[in-house]
Structure 1
Amino acid sequence: MSEPHPTIRPQPGILDIAPYKGGESKLAGHASVLKLSSNENPFGPSPLALEAFRAAAQSLHIYPNSDHAALRAAIGDVHGIDAERIVCGAGSDEIISLLCQAYAGPGGEVLQTEHGFGLYRISALAAGAAPVVVPERERRTDVDALLAACNERT
C-alpha cells in the first residue's frame, strides 16, 4: 500500500487493515460452492421472508427509524430487560464497530478468538487498538482463556 499524503494521515491502524476478500464462489473440480462464510442460503428465501419483503417494499422509499425502539421494547419485554439497556444495529458489523469506537483506542486491546469473526480485528485496528487473538479449544471459544487474556488495556 502506498504511503498517505504527508499532511493527511488516517487514524493509527487504518493502514494495517487488509482489503476484504470474500469467500470463493468457484472452486476447481466442483460444480457449485456453498459460501457459508458469506451467510448465503443455498435454498433461497423462505415464503414468509418473501411475504415480509413484499409488505416492507411499500415503504422502502422512507428512511427507517434508526433507534430501533419497537424492536428494543419487544426484546426487553421477552427477556425482562429495560429497553434502554439494549443496543440494536444493522447487523453485528455495526455493533462491533460501535463498541470498538466507544471503548477501544490507541494503547488498548480487543480480544478475539482464533477462528472468530474477522471484523473484530478490523474494528480494533480502525479504533487504533491492538487485536489480540486468544486460542480456542477444539474450535470452540475458551471462555477461561478469554478471561485470562484480559488486562488493564482490554
Structure 2
Amino acid sequence: MWNTAHEHVLKLVAYEPGKPVEELAREMGLQPSDIIKLASNENPLGPSPKALGAMRDALERAHFYPDGGGWALRGAIADKLGLDRSNVILGNGSNEIIEFIGHAFLRPGDEVITARHAFAVYSLMSQLFGARSVEVPDPGYTHDLEAMAAAITPRTRQIFITNPNNPTGTMVGQEEIDRFMAKVPDHVLVIFDEAYYEFVDNPPDVLKYVREGRNVVVMRTFSKIQGLANLRIGYGLAPKEVAEVLQKTRQPFNANGIAQAGAEAGLRDDDHMRRTRELTHEGRAYFQEEFEKLGLEYVPSFANFVLVRVGDGDAVFQSLLRKGIIVRAMRSYKLPEWVRVSVGTKEQNERFIAELKNLAAQGQLAQKQPATA
C-alpha cells in the first residue's frame, strides 16, 4: 500500500505539537503537578466558570449526537459579531477550517502563499492537497504584505495572513491590510487567521471584507482566550457563498456537543476574557522587561507569548525540561536560536525567568544582537 499512496503525502513531515505535561512526567520521573507548560499558548486561567457549568450540564446528554449544524453556537457567534448565521462554519479547532478550505479550493499544482515564519500547518495542509507552498520573506518577523501581493501568480489560490502572527507575535495594521486587499485578484482566497485576535487592544477590522462579499475567510478559535484547547472548537467567518462551499466539506458532527455548549457559554463571559487579557498583558510585559535585563533579543509581541533568542534553542529547551518547564523550541520554524514562551500565571512566569537567569549565569544564553529575518 505504501507504493499506492500519493507521493506528496509520503513526503509530508507531520506537525510537531508542544510537549504534553504527562509525557515529560514519564520521561523525567517528575510529578505532573511540579511541571509548568508554557509551550502552546494556552490560557493559564483555564475555561470560563460559565463554560464549565454548561459543559457539566451537557455531559448529561452525552449519549445523544450533537447538533450537527451547530445552530445555537453559530447563532451566538453571528450575533456577537454582527453577521448572519450563514456566515459561520464550525471546526474541530480552527485547524479544521484550513482543511475545509483545502478540500474546497486546492488542486495539485496550485500555489499557497505564506510568510516565512508563519504557522507551520499552512504549508503542511498545502502539501497534503498537492499544492506548492510559496514562502515570502518577513523582515522583522512581520508579514510583508507588499511582497506577498507581488508573489501572486495565475496559479495562486490562497494567501494566509496570521494576525497577530504565530510564532512571532507581530501584527500588520489596517492600512497595510487595506492596501493589500486592493491588489488581490478575484481568483485568490485570502485567509486571515485571528487565533490571537482577542488579545489585541485595537485590532484591524477584516470582517468588513466578509460583509462586502470578498473572497476571504476569517478564522478564530476558542482554544486561546476562552481556554477550551482540549475540546478542539474553532470557527470560520466567510461570505455566505464561500461558507456554503466549506459546509459541504465538513464531516457530520465535527464539533462535539460538549464543546459547543462550553464555547457558547464562554463566548458570553466577558469578565473571564477581560481577566485573561489583563493577565496576558501583565505577563507579556514582565517577560519583555526581564529579557531586556538579561540582554536577550526578543520580538515585541501582540499575542499571549513572546519569541526570544537564547542561542542554542534546543539546548535551552532541554535544560528547562529538566527543571520541569516546557517551552517551545523553534527549529521546526527555521529559528533554531529561539524559543517561544507562553504567558502563564505570575508564579509560573517568575519560575521560568528564575531558571532562565540560572542559565544566563552559566553562560548558556546568547548575547543580544540586531534582529534579522
Q: Does the 8 Å CA contact 2:111/2:131 hold for their aligned counterparts? A: yes
Q: Does the 8 Å CA contact 1:24/1:33 hold for their aligned counterparts? A: no
Give the paired residue count: 146
1:3-152 maps to which residues of 2 (within 5 A)?
4-5=2-3, 9-24=4-19, 32-37=35-40, 39-152=41-154
Deviates more, 1:78-87 or 1:113-122: 78-87
Q: Does the 8 Å CA contact 1:110/1:131 hold for their aligned counterparts? A: yes
Q: Does the 8 Å CA contact 2:114/2:136 hold for their aligned counterparts? A: yes
Measure the CA separation in 1 of the matches of 2:54 and 2:71: 19
Report the secondary structure of 2:114's partner residue: strand
Distance 1:107 1:45, change over 3 A: same
TM-score by length of 1: 0.76
Quick one: which amino acid aligns to residue 71 of structure 2? A
Identity of aligned residues (%): 37
Distance 1:150 1:61, change over 3 A: farther
Distance 1:141 1:84, change over 3 A: same
Quick one: which amino acid aligns to residue 4 of structure 1? W
Report the secondary structure of 2:91's partner residue: coil
Measure the CA separation in 2 of the matches of 1:47 and 1:110: 40
| Greater relative CO, 1 or 2 (CA 8 Å, sep 6+) | 2
User: Mind listing any 5+ residue stretches in structure 1 that lack a counterpart?
Assistant: none
* Structure 1 consecutive aligned stretches of length 4 or more whose deviation exceeds 4 Å: none
Report the secondary structure of 1:17's partner residue: coil
Measure the CA separation in 2 of the matches of 1:85 and 1:41: 27
Report the secondary structure of 1:87's partner residue: strand
Q: Does the 8 Å CA contact 2:115/2:143 hold for their aligned counterparts? A: yes
More strand per residue: 2
Q: Does the 8 Å CA contact 2:126/2:133 hold for their aligned counterparts? A: yes
Measure the CA separation in 2 of the matches of 1:79 and 1:102: 25
More helix per residue: 2
Quick one: which amino acid aligns to residue 111 of structure 1? I
Question: Residues 15-55 of structure 1, C-alpha deviation per residue, up to 9 Å, x if partnerless?
Answer: 121133322455x9xx7453433x43444444333222212
TM-score by length of 2: 0.35
Report the secondary structure of 2:134's partner residue: strand
Q: Does the 8 Å CA contact 2:12/2:127 hold for their aligned counterparts? A: yes
Q: Does the 8 Å CA contact 1:12/1:125 hold for their aligned counterparts? A: no
